[in-house]
Amino acid sequence: MIRPLLVTLLVLLSYGGYELWLTRGGAMKLTVDEVSVPKGHYEITVNFPPEAFHVTRMQAIGRLIEVKGTSVFLMDVGADDARELARNYWIADVKPWRGL
Amino acid sequence: MAGIVSSAPGAAPTPTLPQSLRSGGGGSIELAGPPPPSWGRVGVGGRARWKKPAKGALGIALFFAAWQVSVPLVGLEPYFYPPPSDVWRAFLELITKGILPVYLIDSIGRYAAGVSIGTALGIVAGLAIGLNRIADRLLSPTINFLFAIVEVAWIPIFVIWWGYGYKTILIALSYVVFFPILYNTLVGVRTAPQVYLNAARSLGASQWQLIMEVVLPAALPNIITGFRVGAGFAFRGLIFAEIVAAKTGIGYLIFEGAANHQTARTIVGMIVMGLLWLAIDYAYLKPLERVTVERWGSVTTAESRE
Amino acid sequence: MSLARRLGDPVLGSVPFLVALCAWLVLPRMIDYPAYMLPPLEQVAARFVESIGDGSLAGHVIASLERLAVGFIIGNGLAIPLGIAIALNRHVSDLLRPLLTFLQSIAGIAWVPLAIIWFGIGKGAVVFVIANTIFFASIYNTVVGVQAIPNALHRAVRSHGGKGIQVFTELILPGALVQIILGLRTSMAYGWRALVAGEMIAGTSGLGYMTIEAVQWYKTETIIMGMIVIGILWLLLDRLFFVPLERATIVRWGLIQR
């Protein structure tokens, strides 16, 4: 009965470590002062042309203005949502944007 | 009826113990005569123990090699018959784009939650019904009939009641696991030796003590069997539910890949699904099976036919 | 078992059904809820009558059973000979066992989208998925069955001078037969699930298709009717086909005690 418990423990620990790693990455990409406004505009860079999977997630948190190459421009994004989005490891960078 | 015992979704009992004592279908089947030796051990020396896994790995390698080579020979579009190299590339892509981890975590989360809930409910219900003779006879035909309506057939009405999404999938998975466990718990409780019960009662055991210390241990092998069956059904149910009613998950990946003519992604999903099942089997189901055999010897899932 | 006890079970056992039936009749009149959640009993009964009358139910049932039969025959027809062949040679079976185990864990449902790409929506995809499920379930059983024949029996046959086809007909086949027949029943159980699930995703007719198509139109009475028919059909298949099969073969030959 050791193996099931050990595996479960391992899985949970790995998952916890993974989430911590994501949070750290998110904090580096989008620093605290960059997320100053409750509703801001952001330029999001990914490393590849975004697919439906990614665009859907971004559309869920803000108004999608444009997708230019590997950059996505979002407006009216809440601060928490922006931080949550920045945590994804496939996001290369999140920068404040002045909007239209 | 379906006291089907197997640890892989759809497989016969793994032949690591007298497979005569596990049935492929009915439940109340015991093979007459001495059990055959567990295959694979006979005639293989101790020093050659690495040979079997190595041969198995070779078989898998040959499979992929044959597949890769056959692609130019078959000459069909990549979306119809993608080579393993495409599949590998799709795998890497899905990881770097962050799609696969999200889908995997979602699937595992749903599966774990559904199996846990279904198991808990199944054991509780099995004990409650099994300990009460009247309730048992009252409800058994209903249970049998509900079980005959295969779990996949419940998805449409679940969707009507709870729509698409996580809640529906969770309920569906719990349901799928609930029945095999309920069924096998009932069998286990029914076959708990009356002697032990009487002995415990005559020693002044309370109802709670009776349940926890006599009935439950006696029924445990059957419960574990039910768990293994339920886990297998639930895994298949997970993939099916994700194809029909979800927007994330390995099942959804398999479906989405095909819908977008990205067949390589579909195959990635299928392989991940297989590996995931092997992991579940290795980590949870095989040890449980071993515990059952080692502590209680043969498992007879006696089924009382009405 | 006393007569009273034997009679008691069917009587007692039908009580929940009767209670459910009464509740179903009464509920719509007592509580107000949208009809599509749980259509009144009369509506479901009416749907039953309607679909029997215009032959649509029969059409779906026949379509489903037909696919199941074809898939069952193809699946087992390929799996049993192949399984025996694989199991006879230790090297081949060692080579292929892990591969088969892996393929078996994804057999069936996971192949539906691929089957749709290969065969399009419709009968072909569904039959393929059923045959796939049954094939892998059955081959596993067959290999296990053949390999479980005790070495002692192998040696006994050889020491009595048996070789070639005799080994096959007198040792392998009878020895593995129990497991193979049990495998037939198991594979049918999984095949049945694959049928319903496959029809739901990739079918254009049949019980699974009928049931899930009704979701779009919120025709819950069709869904309930479909579920009941699916349940009854499986009970019939299992009890009327396989149990007698086992009784006539395995039990009669004394290989199993019930």
pLDDT at residue number B29 = 32
Residue C236, classified by CB atoms within 10 Å of its CB into exposed (0-12), middle (13-18) or buried (19+), is exposed
Report the pLDDT value the prediction gives residue B64, as an integer from 0 to 100. 92
Q: Which among C109, C103, C129, C36 has a CA at the least distance from the CA of B241?
A: C109
- Given a cut of 90, is residue B37 above it in pLDDT? no
Beta-carbon count within 10 A of C2 CB? 7
Q: What is the pLDDT of residue B46?
A: 52
Mutation to test the B interface, candidates A2, A5, A7, A22, most B Cβ within 10 Å = A7
pLDDT above 70 as % of chain A? 95
Eight-state DSSP code of residue A39:
E
Q: How far is B96 from chain A (nearest CA, A)?
A: 7
Q: Is the model's pLDDT at C129 over the cut of 90?
A: yes
Residue B136 has pLDDT above 90, yes or no: no
Determine the distance in angstroms separating the CA of B99 from the nearest CA of chain A, rounded to an integer. Answer: 7
Report the C-alpha gap between B24 and B206 in whole angstroms.
38
- Mapping DSSP to helix (H, G, I), strand (E, B) and coil, where does residue C178 land? helix
| Torsion B234-B235-B238-B239 (CA) sign | negative
May I ask the CATH class of domain C40-251? mainly alpha
Counting CB pairs under 8 A, whether chains C and B reach 3 or more, is yes
Chain B residue whose CA is closest to C6 = B306
Distance in Å, alpha carbon of B283 to nearest chain A alpha carbon: 5
pLDDT band at B25 (very low <50, low <70, confident <90, very high): very low
H or E element in which residue C256 lies: strand C256-257
Lowest mean pLDDT among A75-84, B57-66, B90-99, C124-133: A75-84
CA–CA distance, A93 with A70 (Å, rounded to integer) = 11
Q: How far apart are CA B272 and CA B277, in angstroms?
A: 9
| Minimal Cβ distance to A3: which of B98, B99, B283 | B283
Distance CA C106, CA C108 (A): 6
- CB-CB under 8 Å, A15 with B105: yes
The domains found in chain A, sorted by start residue, are: 2-96 (3.30.70)
Q: Which DSSP letter does residue B41 get?
A: T
pLDDT-based confidence at residue C132 (cuts at 50, 70, 90): very high
Compare all CA atoms of chain A with the CA of B281 and give the residue at the minimum distance.
Answer: A4
User: What confidence score (pLDDT) does residue B255 get?
Assistant: 95
Task: Using DSSP, state whether C242 is helix, strand or coil.
Answer: helix
Neighbours of chain B (3+ CB pairs under 8 A): A, C
CA dihedral C93, C96, C98, C102 (to 10 degrees): -130
Question: Taking CB atoms and an 8 Å cutoff, what residues of chain A touch B96?
Answer: 47-48, 90
- List, as one string, the DSSP characters of C30-96: HS---TTTS--HHHHHHHHHHHHHTSHHHHHHHHHHHHHHHHHHHHHHHHHHHHHHHHHSHHHHHHH
3-class DSSP state of A67:
strand
- For A44, phi and psi rounded to 5 degrees? -110, 125
Report the C-alpha gap between B211 and B213 in whole angstroms. Answer: 6
Which run of H or of E encompasses B300?
none
- Contact at CB, B287 and A3, closer than 8 angstroms: yes
Query: Of residues C192 and A82, which shows the higher confidence score?
Result: C192
Determine contact, residues B5/C144, Cβ cutoff 8 Å: no
Q: Does A48 contact B97 at a Cβ distance shorter than 8 Å?
A: yes
- A46 near A72, Cβ under 8 Å? yes
Q: What is the DSSP string of B67-110?
A: HHHHHHHH---TTTS--HHHHHHHHHHHHHTTHHHHHHHHHHHH
CB contact at 8 A, B251 and B107: yes
Q: Of the candidates B177, B255, B153, which has an alpha carbon nearest to the alpha carbon of residue C193?
A: B153
| C134 contacts: CB under 8 Å, gap ≥ 6 | C71, C72, C74, C75, C76, C79, C187, C188, C190, C191, C194
Residue B101: its chain A contacts at CB < 8 A? 18
Degrees (nearest 5) of the Cα angle B151, B275, C144? 75
Residues C149, C169: Cα–Cα separation, whole Å:
13
Q: Which residue of B has its CA nearest to C213?
A: B156
Distance CA C258, CA C241 (A): 18
Q: What pLDDT does B40 receive?
A: 41
Task: Show residues of chain C in contact with B58, CB under 8 Å.
Answer: 95
Q: What mean pLDDT is predicted for residues C98-114?
A: 90
Look up the ipTM and state it. 0.90
Q: What is the pLDDT of residues B241-284, one digit of tens each?
A: 999 989 999 999 999 999 999 999 999 999 999 999 999 999 99
Report the mean per-residue pLDDT for chain B.
79
CA distance B90 to chain A (A): 14
Q: Which ranges of chain B would DSSP assign to H, the alpha helix?
A: 51-74, 84-96, 99-131, 133-148, 155-162, 166-190, 194-202, 207-210, 216-245, 250-259, 263-280, 286-296
Instruction: Confirm if A31 and A79 have CB atoms less than 8 A apart.
Output: no
Q: Is CATH 1.10.3720.10 correct for B85-296?
A: yes
Q: Which of A46, A87, A90 to mutate to probe the B interface, most B CBs <10 Å?
A: A90
Check if the beta carbon of residue B210 is closer than 8 Å to that of residue B201: yes
Q: Which of A73-82, B26-35, B167-176, C143-152 has the lowest mean pLDDT?
A: B26-35
Shortest CA gap B134–chain A (Å): 36
Residues 6+ apart with CB under 8 A from B112: none
User: Which residues of chain A make contact with B98, given a CB cutoff of 8 A?
Assistant: 54, 88-90
Chain B contact residues (CB < 8 Å to A): 96-99, 101, 105, 283-284, 287-288, 291
Asked if A3 is an interface residue toward chain B (Cβ–Cβ < 8 A), one would say yes
Residues A25-48 have a mean pLDDT of 80
Q: Is A3's CB within 8 Å of B291's CB?
A: no
Element (H, E) at C159: helix C151-159
* A75 SS3 class: strand
Is A51 within 8 Å of B105 when comparing Cβ atoms? no
- Tell which wins on pLDDT, B221 or B52: B221
Tell me the pLDDT band of C108, cut-offs 50, 70 and 90: confident
For the cut 80, the answer to whether the pLDDT of residue B295 exceeds it is no
| Chain A residues whose beta carbon lies within 8 Å of the beta carbon of residue B284 | 3-4, 7
C199: how many CB neighbours lie within 10 A of its CB?
Answer: 29
The two structure tokens encoding residue C181: 């027949």
A1/B98 Cβ within 8 A? no
Please name the chains neighbouring C, where neighbouring means 3+ C-beta pairs under 8 angstroms: B
Rounded Cα gap, residues B98 and B85, in angstroms = 20
Chain B residues within an 8 Å CB radius of A4:
283-284, 287-288
What the block records as the tokens of B271 is 């392989």
Record: contact B99-A4, CB cut-off 8 A? no
Rounded to the nearest integer, the mean pLDDT of chain A is 87
Which residues on neighbouring strands pair with residue A64, listed in sequence order? A74
Ranges of each domain in chain B? 85-296
Residues of chain B neighbouring A51 (CB-CB closer than 8 A): 97, 99
